[in-house]
Structures are given as C-alpha cells and as structure tokens.
Amino acid sequence: EAQVTQNPRYLITVTGKKLTVTCSQNMNHEYMSWYRQDPGLGLRQIYYSMNVEVTDKGDVPEGYKVSRKEKRNFPLILESPSPNQTSLYFCASNNRGGGEQFFGPGTRLTVL
Amino acid sequence: SQQGEEDPQALSIQEGENATMNCSYKTSINNLQWYRQNSGRGLVHLILIRSNEREKHSGRLRVTLDTSKKSSSLLITASRAADTASYFCATDAGQGAQKLVFGQGTRLTINP
C-alpha cells in the first residue's frame, strides 16, 4: 500500500531534550516536506527536500533540522525543543514539485 | 506568509444540501489544490486545478478558478455526513518548485 508513515504518532517530552520524528514514504517520490499545524494558523511548511541531500527552508524553519540521506526517509530533528514547538506535525511527499502531496498520519508533539 | 484564505471559516448545513467554500490568494500561481482533513488526521488530496483551467469536476466535487480575481471555490453537491471535515486550499506559486502554501481551512459540518 502506497503510504507515508511517521513515528512516533504521539510524543510528550520536556524542554531541551533532543528528539527525532521519522518519516518514510514507499512511493519513490523525490519531494518531501514537513509541516506544522496550529489552531488558527493552518499548515505551515518547516522544511522541504527536492531530492537526496537537497533540502531547503520553508516558512518556519527556526528550531528544526532535517536530513535526506535516503530517498525514502526525511527525519525531522528538534535539537532543543521548546514549548512553542508543541504542535501537530505532518510529513508529506510528492512526485513533482508543486503537485499533489501525500500526507502522513501526523505526530502530535507536546513539549513541557 | 499566508497565501490562501478560506471563507467561511465554518459552515454547517443539512445532509443533502450543497456546500460551497471559497479561497482567495495574493500572488500568481501555477496551480491550486484542495485537501480534506478529518479531525486530527492527515490531509487527503481532493483535486488540483491548473492556472490555465477554469473549472474541474471530480465526482460530487466541482472546483472553479478565477485567476483575474485570484480566487477559487469548492462546491460539494448532495452532501453526506461523511463529508464533515476541514477543507484547505493550497497554492503552488512555483517558487523553487516546492512552495505549497496552505490556507487556514473551512470547517464543514453536515447535520443528519
């Protein structure tokens, strides 16, 4: 089944404790993105990648890192999480730039 | 920056009625997409309309695009309870091929 998977689905952590949210897609898509969704703000792009080893900032990259060492994986790294990073995070992939995106199920992160 | 803005923010109708949601944007686009999100879950792509298209249909969905007014509408005909969800428009402004910008969404409730 074609899908985007994210892990963990739920995470509660404390300020400053490094964490990684994994994202994997099995559709051989070149493009992948991370978004955060907050009430009243919609979805905002954090980072995106157009291919292996090619990443770029989205609209809200501060406090996040990403890597794209393999085509299928695009982990999101929070080196020192803060409470303002409490949010619902989505990973997405697509076959061509600006085209239909396939979303993962989301990761609900709470930073205390 | 927020590109697409949906209107209304919330819409409640009776099952069987038609639902219309609007999206306005600010800059020129390559395409505009509509997505559906069931509560707390990942977004699901509904339809993509290119800047040179004026109308597109998919099942009970009808999307129009007016580039002169920088606006789009999504019509869901003969609504069902299962259509209850949030609906987002997203615009591809073609900046670097992966700048998909989402609006804040319309929350649609279908009452049985």
Q: What is the pLDDT of residues B76-94, one digit of tens each?
A: 999 999 999 999 999 986 6
Burial of residue A94, with CB atoms counted within 10 A of its CB: 0-12 exposed, 13-18 middle, 19 or more buried: buried
Q: What is the mean pLDDT of chain A?
A: 94
List of chain B residues whose C-beta atoms are within 8 Å of the C-beta of residue A104: 42
Q: What is the pLDDT of residues A16-29, one digit of tens each?
A: 999 999 999 999 99
Of A62, A18, A98, nearest to B90 by C-alpha is: A98
Token readout for B76 is 């869901």
- B85 Cβ under 8 Å from any chain A Cβ: no
User: Which residue in this structure is represented by tokens 């997405």?
Assistant: A92
Would you state the pLDDT for residue A68? 97
Q: For residues A48 and A50, give the distance between their C-alpha atoms in angstroms, rounded to a whole number.
A: 7
- CB-defined contacts A:B, below 8 A: 70
- Residue B2 · residue B89 · CB < 8 Å: no
- With bands split at pLDDT 50, 70 and 90, how would you rate the model's confidence at B39? confident
Q: What is the mean pLDDT of chain B?
A: 90
Would you state the pLDDT for residue A14? 97
- A35 Cβ under 8 Å from any chain B Cβ: yes
- With bands split at pLDDT 50, 70 and 90, how would you rate the model's confidence at A95? confident
In chain B, pLDDT over 70 holds for what percent of residues?
Answer: 91
CB-based contact B98 A44, cutoff 8 Å: no
CB-based contact B41 A106, cutoff 8 Å: yes
* Strand partners for A24: A5, A73
- A13 Cβ under 8 Å from any chain B Cβ: no
